[in-house]
């Protein structure tokens, strides 16, 4: 999932980056059917540039896919009992 701040004055990049990061922390990807998946890839941050804004990418996976994997694992466990 990609997050991007509004363009900003380079002089205030720390404030702009901080606001964007705070927004990312408040964002709930489950509303859109996803969940953060920190174990599959690292977060990536592009160099802050005022003309394009701050950009950060966070790995996510589909909740539906996660649920299907869980059902598969439960089914396999129950079949071996």
Task: State the pLDDT at residue 80.
Answer: 75
Spatial distance between the Cα atoms of 35 and 50, rounded to a whole number of angstroms: 29
7-56: pLDDT as tens digits? 999 999 999 999 999 999 999 998 888 899 999 899 999 998 999 999 99
User: Domain containing 66: what range?
Assistant: 2-79
pLDDT digits (tens, 9 = 90+) for 62-80: 887 666 776 777 777 777 7
Contact predicate 49/12, CB 8 Å: no
DSSP H helical segments within 4-62, as ranges?
Answer: 13-26
* Contact partners, residue 64, CB within 8 Å, separation at least 6: 33
Residues 6+ apart with CB under 8 A from 27: 3
């Amino acid at each position: 999932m990609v997050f991007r701040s509004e363009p900003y004055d380079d002089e205030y990049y720390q404030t702009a980056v901080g606001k964007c990061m705070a927004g990312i922390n408040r964002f709930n990807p489950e509303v859109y059917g996803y969940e953060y998946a920190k174990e599959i890839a690292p977060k990536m941050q592009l160099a802050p540039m005022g003309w394009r804004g701050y950009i950060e990418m966070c790995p996510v996976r589909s909740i539906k896919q996660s649920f299907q994997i869980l059902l598969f694992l439960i089914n396999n466990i129950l079949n071996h009992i």
